[in-house]
Amino acid sequence: MAELTADWGLVTDDALAAVRTWLGVPRRERGWNSVASDDAIWHFAQGVGDDNPLWWDRDYAEGTRWARLMAPPLFLYTCSNAGLRVGEDGIFPAEHWLPGTVPIWVSDRWHFHRPTWAGERVTATAELMSVEERPGRDGRAATHVDRTSYVGEDGSLIAECFKTHNRYDRRPGGPSTLAPETPLTVYTDDELAAIAAQYDHELSARRGADTLHGDDVHEGQPLPRLVKGPLTLTGIVGFVMGWGSPLCQTNRIAYRYLAEHPGARLHDDRMNVSDTLEGPHWEPHLARMGGMGGCYDFGAQRVCWLAHLLTDWCGDDGFLSALEVRLRRPNLVGDVTWLGGGVTAVRESEPADDSVLVDCALRATNQRGEETATGTATVRLPRRAATSAPAG
Q: Is residue 330 part of a domain?
A: no
Report the C-alpha dihedral over residues 304, 308, 311, 313, rounded to 10 degrees.
-140
CA pair distance 152, 340, nearest whole angstrom: 32
Q: Which of 62, 68, 84 is nearest to 36 (CA)?
A: 68
Beta bridge partners of 107: 164, 326
Q: Residue 389: what pLDDT?
A: 44
Q: How many CB atoms lie within 10 A of CB 26?
A: 11
Q: Residue 239: what pLDDT?
A: 97
What are the φ and ψ backbone dihedral angles of 366, each rounded to 5 degrees? Answer: -90, 180
Side-chain half-sphere of 341: how many Cα atoms within 13 Å? 25
Q: Is residue 207 part of a domain?
A: no
Q: Given phi > 0 = left and psi -120 to 50 = alpha, else beta, which region is 67?
A: left
Q: Residue 130: what pLDDT?
A: 95
Q: Which of 157, 63, 64, 81 is nearest to 112 (CA)?
A: 157
CATH number at residue 77: 3.10.129.10
Q: Is residue 18 part of a domain?
A: yes
- Between the two ends of the chain, the Cα-to-Cα distance in Å is 45
Q: Residue 234: what pLDDT?
A: 96
Q: Is residue 169 part of a domain?
A: yes
Summarize pLDDT for 75-121 with one digit per residue, the tens.
999 999 887 777 776 655 565 678 778 778 899 999 999 999 999 99
pLDDT digits (tens), the chain, 392 positions: 345 565 677 888 988 998 999 999 998 898 999 999 999 999 999 999 999 999 999 999 999 999 999 999 999 999 998 877 777 766 555 656 787 787 788 999 999 999 999 999 999 999 999 999 988 777 889 999 999 999 999 999 999 999 999 988 876 554 447 889 899 899 999 999 999 999 999 999 999 999 999 999 999 999 999 999 999 999 999 999 999 998 888 999 999 988 988 878 888 889 999 998 899 999 999 999 888 889 999 999 999 999 999 999 999 999 999 999 999 999 999 999 999 999 999 998 877 788 999 999 999 999 999 999 999 999 999 998 764 444 44
Number of H helices, E strands in the chain: 9, 12
Q: Residue 91: what pLDDT?
A: 59
Q: Is residue 213 part of a domain?
A: no
Q: Which of 363, 357, 356 is nearest to 342 (CA)?
A: 363
Q: Is residue 353 part of a domain?
A: no
What are the φ and ψ backbone dihedral angles of 4, each rounded to 5 degrees? Answer: -70, 140
Q: Residue 178: what pLDDT?
A: 86
CA pair distance 156, 372, nearest whole angstrom: 34
CA pair distance 66, 158, nearest whole angstrom: 15
Q: Is residue 369 part of a domain?
A: no
Q: Is residue 219 part of a domain?
A: no
Number of structural domains found in the chain: 1
CA pair distance 221, 295, nearest whole angstrom: 36
Summarize pLDDT for 17-29 with one digit per residue, the tens.
989 999 999 988 9
Contact 151, 120 (CB under 8 A): no
Residues 6+ apart with CB under 8 A from 69: 38, 41, 54, 55, 57, 58, 61, 62, 117, 118, 119
Q: Which residue range forms the structural domain that includes residue 138? A: 1-181
